[in-house]
Every structure is written in structure tokens, then in C-alpha cells.
């Protein structure tokens, strides 16, 4: 194996707490983003392409490719991240569509207008497991009856992280009180960090 063929070494990081914006700032500063597809995944494009535009929130947006895609198609979309470096990276990546990106904490942010769709992409699995109940409570608070939580869920036994995998029964127990699962299938274009353990799911807020 030549030097150029060898996988890039993981950079050294000072922050180990994924609940701290500094953890993510470091990774964006060093260009270490193994969760970043660099574009819009197929399931999301098909799902959103079949819908009428509606107010949409993308939490933990990273580079926000999907938010930029929605914005270009006239959707009222807001993408948020609590990492200043992630926000700066998204604004640079998206160009004019970067206007939809804001620095904010999902657990305190109040979208205007109220969202009808929350898009999940590598956000739940970025949160330490102790924050999962708060995540479930917040998506339930933000979505009206009939509102949708749709996206990609990293399903497996938890073995450290991030990304922090969640066993499928635990995910169902987490969301079932406020949501009904209306679609679930294996993702078709997962990145190596998620390969074989990622599902596209759509959950509808119960009345």
C-alpha cells in the first residue's frame, strides 16, 4: 500500500464531550466529518420531492446540504447547529442558500413559523444517549398533530460514539408515545460509518 493509498489518520482532538459545541467545532476546523455525505441522499430527495413545501426544521444540520436543496425548491426551511464552526462551514458550502442556517440550540430554539416537518440526519446519533429522552420530548413539542419526523436513524447496540447507535426497540419505545411509525426501510447509500445499520424512517405525530 502506498502512502497515498493509506486511510487518513484521525486527527487528535482535545474535546471528548459530544454535548459541548467545542467538540464539533474541532472536527469542523480539522475537516473531520465522516458523517457528511456531501450531497442529498436518495430517500430524502424522493420523500421531499413528492411533498408540497412546508415549514421544515433541520437540527444539527452540519453542512446542511438538504436544507440548501429544500431552499432552492422554495421550501420554508431553517437549519440550525449549536457549533459556530459548523454554521460557518454550512454557510460557506451552501453559498446564497446559507441564509437558512442559524446558530442555535435545538432544545431551546423556537422556529418561526412553527415547523410541520423535522428532518433527522445524524443528529440523534450525535447526542450522548442520556439526551435521547430530551430529544424525543422536544420533537414532540415542536411538531403539531400530523407533523412528520423523517430521516435516517442509526440502529444497533450502543458501543460508544459518536455516532451513538440506538437499538431499534429502544428507538420505538422512545418515539411511540407521541408518534406512529409510517415508513421504515434500509438506507441505500449510507456512508461507511453508518453502513448496514441505517434506516430511513418516517414518524407521524399522534393527535
pLDDT tens, the chain, 207 aa long:
333 333 456 777 777 789 999 999 999 999 888 889 999 999 999 999 999 999 999 999 999 999 999 999 999 999 999 999 999 999 999 999 999 999 999 999 999 999 999 999 999 999 999 999 999 999 999 999 999 999 999 999 977 889 999 999 999 999 999 999 999 999 998 999 999 999 999 999 999
Sign of the CA dihedral with 206 first, then 65, 89, and 14 last: positive
Domains in the chain and their CATH numbers? 18-205 (3.40.50.150)
143 touches 118 (CB < 8 A): yes
Whole-prediction pTM: 0.92
CA triplet 129, 135, 139: central angle to 5 degrees?
160
Closest C-alpha among 14, 26, 152, 160 to residue 83: 26
**Residue in 74, 176, 182, 53 with CA at minimum distance from that of residue 116:** 53
Amino acid at each position: 500500500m502506498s502512502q497515498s493509498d493509506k486511510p487518513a489518520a484521525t486527527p487528535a482532538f482535545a474535546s471528548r464531550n459530544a454535548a459541548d459545541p467545542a467538540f464539533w467545532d474541532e472536527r469542523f476546523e480539522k475537516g473531520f466529518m465522516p458523517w457528511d455525505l456531501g450531497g442529498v441522499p436518495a430517500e430524502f430527495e424522493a420523500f421531499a420531492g413528492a411533498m408540497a413545501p412546508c415549514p421544515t426544521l433541520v437540527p444539527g444540520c452540519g453542512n446542511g446540504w438538504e436544507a440548501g436543496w429544500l431552499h432552492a425548491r422554495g421550501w420554508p426551511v431553517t437549519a440550525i447547529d449549536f457549533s459556530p464552526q459548523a454554521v460557518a462551514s454550512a454557510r460557506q458550502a451552501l453559498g446564497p442558500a446559507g441564509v437558512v442556517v442559524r446558530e442555535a440550540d435545538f432544545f431551546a430554539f423556537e422556529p418561526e413559523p412553527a415547523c410541520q416537518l423535522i428532518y433527522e440526519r445524524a443528529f440523534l446519533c450525535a447526542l450522548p444517549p442520556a439526551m435521547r429522552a430530551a430529544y424525543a420530548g422536544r420533537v414532540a413539542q415542536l411538531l403539531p398533530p400530523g407533523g412528520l419526523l423523517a430521516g435516517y436513524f442509526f440502529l444497533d447496540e450502543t458501543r460508544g460514539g459518536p455516532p451513538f447507535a440506538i437499538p431499534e426497540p429502544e428507538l420505538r419505545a422512545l418515539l411511540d408515545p407521541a408518534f406512529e411509525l409510517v415508513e421504515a426501510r434500509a438506507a441505500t447509500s449510507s456512508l461507511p460509518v453508518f453502513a448496514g445499520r441505517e434506516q430511513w424512517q418516517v414518524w407521524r405525530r399522534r393527535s
